[in-house]
Amino acid sequence: MPENVNVKICGLTDPADVPAALLAGARTLGFVFFEKSPRHLSLEAAAHMTEAVPDGICKVALTVNADDAALDALLAAVPFLDMLQLHGSESPARVAEVKARYGLPVMKAVGVADRADLAVLNDYVTVADQLLIDAKPPKDAVLPGGNGLAFDWRLIAGRRWPKPWMLAGGLNADNVGEAIALTGARQVDVSSSVESAPGVKDAERIRAFCEAALK
């Protein structure tokens, strides 16, 4: 299994989630700004939570097809962010625009269900700073991610891209070790499986996930 795996705990909603994630060994924290999500944060709450995160921990804002006005407001109210995660249907051109306008690294999420979806990754690898390879949501899904679904990891076994990439989608404490071993992922993202209810993170589940990913 690769050493020094970076664990991202996404969708933190309570100030207590921050120390729980850090004590478990996570080095990246995700904050969701998408009103349809049970993990959606107000700008005021996000500012309070991100201000408390120590230096050296990456703070990521997840947005979905946000326009410039929404991103302007987000970054004005929450100035402690380190990265923008674009989790909607943003085009490669939009990714480049966001990166140029805000001067922050951009992670683009790409949903994968079958081999044909892998070609889309090549469209983004030249403009995004990182890729997040996630399970493609069902056609009737309200959320573009955080649905607890996995894709066939064999699709990306042995594949590499010229930018850092993170594995997401259906990961939990029972399967993350297998996922890392099979794909060679050096970064993993988790949200729903470390919750006791939608949007409610559970410190023990976070600890178990990080322990499994980092062992």
Q: Strand 28-33 relative to strand 6-10: parallel, antiparallel, unpaired?
A: parallel
Does the pLDDT value for residue 204 go beyond 50? yes
In contact, 201 and 171? CB cutoff 8 Å:
no
Average pLDDT of every residue of the chain = 93
In contact, 80 and 47? CB cutoff 8 Å:
yes
User: Residue 82 belongs to a domain with what CATH number?
Assistant: 3.20.20.70
Q: Quick one: average pLDDT of 103-130?
A: 95
Q: Quick one: average pLDDT of 110-128?
A: 93
Backbone angles phi, psi at 103, to 5 degrees: 65, 20
Radius of gyration of the chain from its Cα atoms, rounded to whole angstroms: 16
- Is residue 33 domain-resident? yes
- Name the pTM for this structure: 0.93
What is the total count of domains within the chain?
Answer: 1
In contact, 37 and 146? CB cutoff 8 Å:
yes
Domain with 85, as residue range(s), is: 6-214
Is the model more confident about 94 or about 137?
94
Q: How far is CA 208 from the centre of its chain?
A: 18
d(CA 50, CA 7): 17
Does the pLDDT value for residue 144 go beyond 50? yes
Q: Strand 58-63 relative to strand 28-33: parallel, antiparallel, unpaired?
A: parallel
In contact, 169 and 185? CB cutoff 8 Å:
no
Q: Quick one: average pLDDT of 26-51?
A: 97
- Is residue 1 domain-resident? no
Q: How far is CA 90 from the centre of its chain?
A: 15
- Of 15-24, 145-154, 160-169, 189-198, the range with the lowest mean pLDDT is 145-154
In contact, 30 and 194? CB cutoff 8 Å:
no
In contact, 63 and 94? CB cutoff 8 Å:
no
